[in-house]
Structure 1
């Protein structure tokens, strides 16, 4: 625990507007419509970081079948709350969550946080030649 903060996976506590404000300006989901984000959150295992004032200052979600696979997405901590260990604490909470135990594979994509994720067992693809994607980076521009 970090003084003045708490983490919850109670989806009902997530502040959709706050999350949308950050995610819709991110490099990975710029322009995402709020309805699309709501649907994504409703179908994911979510984690929120909250300040003692009740403000949502961080977020992450696992897209998962809760049995074999999970994909980590939409991870952030607001800039003014960085440097306090919140991202590491958030990752520990995610990795220790009971529903994240015994999975065969977890995946994620990142441009700039490889060092963080390596601390929690993530690595470059061992066999990138077997992975494929159907990627539409401009999907939200047409929404």
Structure 2
């Protein structure tokens, strides 16, 4: 997490905050995914998501929206104001990794893009719609 934050975490209070944020983020990852206990058995996306969420919480534990200095004004993105809470995109990735997200798929029953030769339309009277004759036998007009 120190690499993600970009600074060493050495003070006792910083270590306590980092530990708390990692525990919170890990609990949420397990809530939306599976009860992965060991980081070695968890998917890589679960580990990186927990670290990213914990780093957000560590950098902004108070959930500040804006910080002003002498000549600097910072506005923090809404995801950084949530502490170690997972974003909607992170939740979807965790659910996909755990295969807990319901998926609905459809199977095409016809191929509207199939090749139709020009000769298939040679027998068609002028003014008749083409779709009437796509699968029909040639008509003696």
What range describes the TM-score normalised by the shorter chain of this pair? under 0.3
Q: TM-score, normalised by structure 1?
A: 0.26
Q: TM-score, normalised by structure 2?
A: 0.26
- Larger fraction in strand: 1
